[in-house]
A and B are shown apart, each in its own frame.
Chain A
Amino acid sequence: MDPISYLRENVGTVLFYGEQHFLVVLCAIALGSAISIGFALLVSMDAGSQRWSLDWIVGAVREGALVVTAAALTVPSLALLVLLLPLFGLGAATTVTALTIYSLYTVLRNSVAGLSSVDASVLESAKGLGMGRLRRLIWIQFPLAWPVILNGIRVATLIDVAIAAVAALVRGPGLGQLVLTGLSRYGAANAFNQVLVGTLGCLVVAAVFEIFYAVVERLTVPRGIRV
């Protein structure tokens, strides 16, 4: 059977796995972004000129977090998934946790870069007008950093979509199941089609995310800084 007619006959199953894939990545990205952005906001709050030593500590924590999350990216996905098994069991929880961990670095790095790249003169004038730390963060720093942060979320999503396929090996939900089934039925009818559809399906999931982010960008990036 050729892939097209395979797909036609199994639309329901494929859609089901695709949806699972999407949701798992969505959960992980939401979680990872919340953690990373929250952390980045904490360590990027524009410093007051006093309290020099505190700023030094904050800087060290920031760099440390970048190194740790970067190192997490070097742990092979299979090993991380298996390692999390005893904690979260087979299935979605382990998958989401692993994907969350993999998304941290990209989002964190972009957030820190975005927040710290806000023009110093803009921040100084905000200070000069009497905005406090928190207000500067919310009114000025975050909106100006948002396009860079959003781009980090996008890239992290692409990476997670790919890694999520491996999660099938720990009974994780998603298109990886198709690849796994196909592999285990090597030589049988449709085994190749299953792997093909599972693999290319990830691209479709990624495309849905891209559309989603394009809309989010339209709606949330202030007009004055849209390119």
Chain B
Amino acid sequence: MSETTTNPHGIAEGHPDQRPMIVLEGVSKTYPGQTIPAVAELDLAVPRGSIVMLVGPSGCGKTTTLKMMNRLIEPTTGRILLDGEDVTGVNADQLRRRIGYVIQQVGLFPHFTVGENIAVVPRMLGWDRQRIRQRVDELLELVGLHPREFRDRYPRQLSGGQQQRVGVARALAADPPVMLMDEPFGAIDPVTRERLHDEFLEIQRTVRKTICFVTHDLQEAIKLGDHIAIFTAGGRLAQYDTPEGILSRPANDFVAEFVGSGAAVRRLHLIALSTLDLDEIATGSSPTAAALVTVPLSGSVYDAVDAMLDAQTSVVAVVDDDGQAVGALRWNTLVEKLQLRGLHP
């Protein structure tokens, strides 16, 4: 969908399916008794079926923005449209059952078991027992918790990261079309987090939910986001763009500094190997393809470079899903290829 998305405010026109799922128009929030708004004059359109990552320094209004979308907080001014409908017009509880919400502090119900926590929304929607039970087990599997082991535990018997995953499963329970996730993977170790990211993207490829995702981790934002919204303190939007756009064309000094040094290296994540013209592997000569370090075609240039440095070699073989070599990538020619790609995107 990245064709339609470089200009988020232009998406509104066209095909009904291209109509954004969530639209914020001039939304501000000033908490009672405060003079500085937590969110100021925010315009934001979240395209249907895409993931928007909200990043920014602590206290810049990310959580506030999320909570206004499901009306946990009412905006001081402005309008919020969900699927073209003004949210202030609908019953807040009904609205929230259609929007999965993963709260920053997890907020599991301590007197419910893991299974009961996940079953809350299905129960409210009146599903039958059998279906609820199936769904609970399915979701536990999904977030990498063994149902048999975890279903009947209580939240206090889980680690922080496990609690977070139950929180995600709970929000997903009734399969809502929209998800609001406030730092859902904050307390999870890098390895598990990496795995959850992959699964998350895998699921998203098929279910196409509209997701607003708050994170402090730029890496996470780049990996998961179709778009990234970078906030400055005081709840202003500094830049709203694709990850590529953020990394290569920071709109201002704040974004540049936020992205920080290493933007070029980070950008390598965004370049899929499949989009590069790979060198041929000379069949006759040694080293043969079999002897080369391999990276999967589905990976990014970042993975390829990582593999090269790791193996201290200047060439890697790119292999497809069946393990067949489709080409080689050489250190010497890499920069050229990137330049070329930069000129003709």
User: How many A residues face the partner with a CB closer than 8 A?
Assistant: 25
Residues of B within 8 A of A127 (CB): 72, 96
Residues facing B in A122-168 (CB within 8 A) are: 122-132, 135, 139-140, 143-144
Taking a contact as CB atoms under 8 Å apart, the answer to whether A129 and B170 are in contact is: yes
A132 to B171, CA, bound (A): 17
Q: A130-B94, A130-B96 are in contact. Are A124 and B155 (CB under 8 A)?
A: no
Taking a contact as CB atoms under 8 Å apart, the answer to whether A131 and B93 are in contact is: yes
A126 to B103, CA, bound (A): 10
B70 at the interface (CB under 8 A from A): yes
Residue of B at shortest CB range from A143?
Answer: B111
Q: A50-B74, A121-B103 are in contact. Are A129 and B110 (CB under 8 A)?
A: no
Q: A129 is contacted by which of B113, B120, B154 (Cβ under 8 Å)?
A: B120
Residue of B at shortest CB range from A144?
Answer: B111
Residues of B within 8 A of A130 (CB): 93-97, 121, 124
Residue of B at shortest CB range from A122?
Answer: B107
A140 to B155, CA, bound (A): 14
Quick check: which of A11-19, A209-217, A219-227 contacts chain B, the rest being far away? Answer: A219-227
Do most interface residues of chain A lie in helix, strand or loop, or is the interface mixed?
helix
Residues of B within 8 A of A124 (CB): 72, 103, 105, 107
A2 at the interface (CB under 8 A from B): no
Q: A135-B124, A223-B154 are in contact. Are A126 and B73 (CB under 8 A)?
A: no
Residues facing A in B102-145 (CB within 8 A) are: 103-113, 120-121, 124
Taking a contact as CB atoms under 8 Å apart, the answer to whether B112 and A125 are in contact is: no
Q: Give the Cβ gap from B155 to chain A, nearest Cβ, in Å.
A: 7
A122 to B117, CA, bound (A): 11
A39 to B156, CA, bound (A): 31
Taking a contact as CB atoms under 8 Å apart, the answer to whether A224 and B97 are in contact is: no
Q: Give the Cβ gap from B74 to chain A, nearest Cβ, in Å.
A: 6
A121 to B102, CA, bound (A): 11
Residues facing B in A63-105 (CB within 8 A) are: none
Residues of A within 8 A of B240 (CB): none
A224 to B101, CA, bound (A): 23
A122 to B97, CA, bound (A): 16
Known pairs A125-B103, A125-B109, A128-B72. 7 more at Cβ < 8 A? A49-B72, A122-B108, A124-B105, A124-B107, A130-B96, A139-B120, A144-B111
Instruction: Please list 21 pairs of residues, one from A and one from B, whose beta carbons are closer than 8 Å in the complex, sorted by A's number.
Output: A49-B72, A49-B73, A122-B107, A122-B108, A124-B103, A124-B105, A125-B103, A125-B106, A126-B109, A128-B107, A129-B120, A130-B96, A130-B97, A130-B124, A131-B124, A140-B109, A143-B111, A222-B112, A224-B113, A224-B155, A224-B156
Residues of A within 8 A of B (CB): 49-50, 52, 119, 121-132, 135, 139-140, 143-144, 222-225
